[in-house]
Structure 1
């Protein structure tokens, strides 16, 4: 599985359609459209949309974004879409993990469970099936053999109760072509995904990891973020390198609207030549922009409002899935 910062053929998203979960459905559609349009400045984008909402999606998105009409239950393409891989001959394929809506938290999810193979069938790309229940937001790879995940998510009883951690690790290594899995503690306050990695850490390059952080001593997550950094400082990647650790602050708790609200600035998307990052309309946005520009001097930093996405429990990375350029 290539690193996310390598060149993309396109980005995949899924249009919001579980209307009952959104505080303001029209505002959420507007946020999704803004993310899609920001990404489409840098690479092609295909939006999967249920046929009943195709006209609405076209009105929001304009004519520059491709629509693919398919039945879907929800709009988190990172988790229900395929995880693209490339073999030594340069052939593209997609790994299709089983999907059960984050431990059967939402119903129905039968159409989302079929989304990955349907996208691959549309592309004419080989599907690699896995019996592991897993989501794309639960993994992060450096493209050089290392994978980050958490010990609270895929081993959870609501996903893979009969799988040992060793068996899960072996499956991830086989299907995604990695040689080392680093298990980090999951966020104990994340009840939506049971601790997805993409809300707390991401690779920023070979041997580099950005970790979510907090400077507020009263923040209940601060000890957790500190422990992440301490563990990663002792780890090495698949090639034996110690990690250079970078940080981004978490958005302050007073931004949160509801218990599911995603406060993560680490939850961004690498587009071709850009980083598409979340904006909460607060002064911390400017600090994050400056840090990201320092970390990625050759990329444009595009900040996009996400409040009406974050209220559903995720961010920009959660609603996108990159298809690597072959």
Structure 2
């Protein structure tokens, strides 16, 4: 992979609803991490994960990175149309350790390789810190390197120059000590074509216990330019309710790169699914993934699944809403969006939400 110190003018990160060439994922295989760290069996997590893989594979190609020791299990559970790519890895959160793909009107597709330090050195990452570069190498794509510690789950873009992120992640001393908002915004402008960065508080008091420190993909997601799906809770007295209120307030005060105030549609969290004995549990329906022609939605086997599916169907007319059970996977603190990374199709066309 050719390493470029500066991205040429014209590079931009497309919105997630732009057509995909493929979805990249990384198969879970670290038994000690899941069973000792998160208290669920690896076999159950793999079944959940395979459900997501196979759901996406109905709509677009899936490229599944698999540690060489786990290939047989991945092949057993995943459909024959899923491409397995053997690479040694630590963990299974491709949204964060994989590349953020960018496109250029004349130069095609490339990728940004963020400095991945496992959410502030919270987990072993000696293999995953180079995963983005290895994926880009396998595709023969150029890559933009940066010293900014960042993860794909920490940013959302609308494809029209707007990026949303959180202060509790990117300004956290465990990632980027001493760096300013202005410096980070310049990096986003240069590498992703961003014209305006919107900063949410995130989770500054670490209320959720989420190891990401407050990724934006558990707070909100673009439905289209100028419109957001936002995480909400009906338990107004909970400690999380204040986190929701502060992030919602920041969104209400914001305008996007085109000067628009945001339309917001609420997705109430799956509170009845939360395992109260779990250290963490991802109950956010905003952690959905936009695939070609579909919305792959986290589901938990509770009544709230139906409400979330109906809300997403309103927000994404013309796309099939596909609920996928992730009760075991959710114990790792992430959901459907956290384990997926879109590779845009080239050339870009038909950019409809």
Query: Same fold judged by TM-score > 0.5?
Result: yes
Q: Is the 8 A contact 2:30 2:42 kept in 1?
A: no
1:19 aligned to 23, 26, 31, which one? 31
2-structure distance, mates of 1:117, 1:226: 38
- The match for 2:295 among 265, 275, 286 is 275
Q: Which moved more, 1:256-265 or 1:41-50?
A: 256-265
Which of 248, 271, 278 is the matching residue for 1:229? 248
Q: Give distance in 2, aligned partners of 1:90 and 1:246.
A: 36
3-state SS of paired residue (2:197): strand
- Tell me how far 1:280 sits from its aligned partner: 0.8
Matches of 2:292 and 2:309, distance apart in 1: 17
Question: Aligned residue for 2:317?
Answer: 297
Distance in 2 (alpha carbons) for counterparts of 1:284 and 1:142? 27
Q: 1:35 maps to what in 2?
A: 52
Q: Which residue of 2 is the match for residue 185 of structure 1?
A: 201
Question: Aligned to 2:169, what secondary structure does the other structure show?
Answer: coil
**CA-CA distance at 1:93 after TM superposition:** 0.3
Q: Which position in structure 2 is the counterpart of 1:238?
A: 257
Hey, what does 1:287 align to over in structure 2? Answer: 307
Paired with 1:48 and 1:214, the residues of 2 have a C-alpha distance of: 35
Does structure 1 retain, via aligned residues, the 8 Å contact 2:65–2:84? yes
SS at match of 1:263: coil
Determine if the alignment matches structure 1 residue 2 to structure 2 residue 25: no
Once the two structures are TM-superposed, the CA of residue 295 in structure 1 deviates from its matched residue by 1.0
2:278 aligns to what? Answer: 258
Q: Which secondary structure does the structure 1 equivalent of 2:265 belong to?
A: strand
SS of the residue corresponding to residue 153 of structure 1 reads: helix
**Other-structure match for 2:111:** 94
Q: Is the 8 A contact 1:229 1:245 kept in 2?
A: no
CA contact (8 A) 1:21 1:312 kept: no
Determine helix, strand or coil for the equivalent of 1:131: strand
The answer to whether residue 170 in structure 2 is matched with residue 151 in structure 1 is no
Q: Is the 8 A contact 2:273 2:283 kept in 1?
A: no
The answer as to 2:86 corresponding to 1:74 is no
Aligned mates of 2:78, 2:154 — CA distance in 1: 28
TM-superposed deviation, 1:215: 1.6
Deviation at 1:90, TM superposition (A): 5.1
Contact 1:255-1:280 within 8 A present in 2 as well:
no
What is the alpha-carbon distance in structure 1 between the residues aligned to residue 241 and residue 200 of structure 2?
Answer: 15
1:189 deviates by 1.9
Alignment match, 2:327: 307
For 2:71 and 2:200, locate their aligned partners in 1 and report how far apart those are by CA, in whole Å.
Answer: 40
The runs of 5 or more residues in structure 2 that have no matched partner are 1-12, 35-39, 347-353
The range that moved more, 251-260 or 158-167, is 251-260
Q: Structure 1 unaligned segments of length 5 or more: list them.
A: none
* Structure 1 residue 235, shift from structure 2 partner: 1.1
Distance 1:49 1:114 in 2: 15
How many residues of Structure 1 are paired with residues of Structure 2 in the alignment?
325
Separation in 2, partners of 1:91, 1:114: 23
SS at match of 1:117: helix
Q: What is the alpha-carbon root mean square deviation over aligned residues?
A: 1.2
Distance 1:224 1:32 in 2: 28
Task: Tell which deviates more after alignment, 115-124 or 224-233.
Answer: 224-233
- Rounded Cα–Cα distance in structure 1 between residues aligned with 2:342 and 2:307: 26
Contact 2:25-2:62 at 8 Å conserved across structures: yes
Match of 2:177 in 1: 161
- 1:174-219 deviations in Å (ceiling 9; x for gaps): 1111010000011242431011000011111010011101122232
Q: Which of residues 228, 239, 264 in structure 2 aligns to 1:220?
A: 239
